[in-house]
Amino acid sequence: MLVHQCTIQEAVSYSGTGLHTGAKCTVTFKPAPENYGIRFVRTDLGGDPEIPAIVDYVVDVSRGTTLGHGDIKVYTVEHVLAAVAGLQIDNLIIEIDGIEPPVGDGSAMPFVEALERAGIQKQEAAKDYLIIDRTIQYSNPEKEIDIVALPLDDFRMTVMVDYKNPALGSQHTGMFNLEEFVSEFASSRTFCFLTEVEQLHDAGLIKGGSLDNAVVIVDREVKEGDLEAIGEKLNLGSDIRLNDHGFLNDITMRFKNEPARHKLLDLLGDLTLVGVPLKAQILAARPGHASNVEFAKMIRKLYLEKRLVKKFQHEKKQGVVFDINAISEILPHRYPFLLVDKIVSLEIDKKIVGVKNVSMNENFFQGHFPGQPVMPGVLIIEAMAQCGGILMLNSIEKPKEKLAFFSTIDNAKFRRPVVPGDQMIMEIEMVNKRRNIIQIRGKSFVEGELVAEADMMAAVVDRNGSKKQA
């Protein structure tokens, strides 16, 4: 069944105070065209600069998820994005007249209510789902964090938290479809520990924080007479209490497992930064913004790989990423110098595996050597370099207008001859990339045995510019 992209019917605004800056701010949501995505626009700055809601633009995760582009930033975007994702909105302009959205009550509900007032508008274009077809896992053993995406033809999330605090305990929650978000998760508030609040306050942050927009859990010993001092220090007033459950003041939890639900809310908001809706089962243990963002980067990379493959590989073939037709569309090389037959594995900006079937029909065997054909070592290097050229594809804008020229070849070693009948498997890893210079490391194998290896560096130049230089 075709599922259409969505935006909102009309502009709507929500005003309030930023959590960390304490500054007054207004967020205005506006309809956006198909395939526009989600973008923040700083209307308080000259030129109304935009920041796409993409994980590539995350610049800080120390106190929420902060997006930035150059000197332009927007703090704590996760609750806004959770509301957008929960309402399954694909295209949206988010104008903001300050550096931080309003904190509201510490949940995503104020933004949900604003967007619902605006109304959801279906568009003609189909949603661009990323279907997770292999397990993706992020793990941080030191912090006991694990996040996994599993294949599923739907979207579900399960979150567990355990901070070894008596007041919080071990909690878990699950969302079995996005239709549950508004009623079951959107109103879950931010929670934090007293020691964190004191540290943030000492650092000059949470100027807009209060017990009206966060659940504060006491995680240190509080002696008689300390509460008044805590209230004055944190600008919470003198009427501050510690209830029997370990929370400041008589907080009534909106859900028994409200902290776990809020962690799911944060994770949903951060996963919006992948840039497309997902079809997957997400399992998360002790997630936080830093881990969420790293996990989103992993999923974003898978999306870019799939988009790249879809662009060039028009016929789906088992075990093949790019066939010879796709390779001929990607690389400028032609007979007799196209030395890659297929690509069987691709991890964007990381690794590629290519295949070269070596045949006696190769023209170079006529002279290298008559009666004892051996593939020239320089052509083995060239074949690996051509695989590297495909690996560079995502790193280069308008690749059809570019050429990659060798600048250095180091540590080249040839372990055994490559002869007719061999199938050469080439594994190329990205070592470094900066602007128009890319470093790769290549290894070639025949029947699992290493036959050649080399470190290479290439300079990417304009194809027309290279002709002028020649």
Residues β-bridged to residue 174: 158
289 catalytic per annotation = yes
Catalytic hit among 20, 79, 262, 289: 289
304: number of CA atoms within 13 Å, CB side? Answer: 20
- Look-up of token digits 């900006």: 349
Reply yes or no on whether 201 is catalytic: no
Residue matched to tokens 């306050």? 201
Q: Report residue 191 as tokens.
A: 């929670």
> What is each CA distance from 49 to 39, 42, 53, in whole angstroms?
10, 6, 13
Alpha carbon distance 408, 432 (integer Å)? 14
172, 201, 333, 368: which is the annotated catalytic residue? 368
Integer angstrom CA distances of residue 407 from 243, 368, 399, 432: 68, 26, 19, 14
Cβ atoms within 10 A of the Cβ of 293, count?
20
The two structure tokens encoding residue 224: 């008689």
Burial class (CB in 10 A: 0-12, 13-18, 19+), 332: middle
Distances (CA, A) of 371 to 19, 365, 414: 78, 9, 21
Helices (H), 331-462: 377-391
- Contact indicator for 75, 259 with CB cutoff of 8 Å: no
Beta strands in 142-274 (DSSP E): 145-151, 155-162, 170-175, 191-193, 215-217
Distance of CA 191 to the CA centre of its chain: 25
The sign of the CA dihedral 55, 60, 63, 66 is: negative
Residue 292 pairs with which residues in a beta bridge? none
Q: Give the residue carrying structure tokens 């071990």.
A: 170
Cβ pair 170, 207 in contact under 8 A = no
Q: What's the CA gap between 400 and 406, in Å, rounded?
A: 18
Alpha-carbon separation of residue 36 from 27, 174, 276, 371 (angstroms): 19, 30, 11, 61
Q: What is the Cα–Cα distance from 392 to 383, expressed in whole angstroms? A: 14
Q: Are strands 130-131 and 278-285 parallel, antiparallel or unpaired?
A: parallel
| Structure tokens given for 204 | 């000059």
Annotated catalytic residues are 289, 368
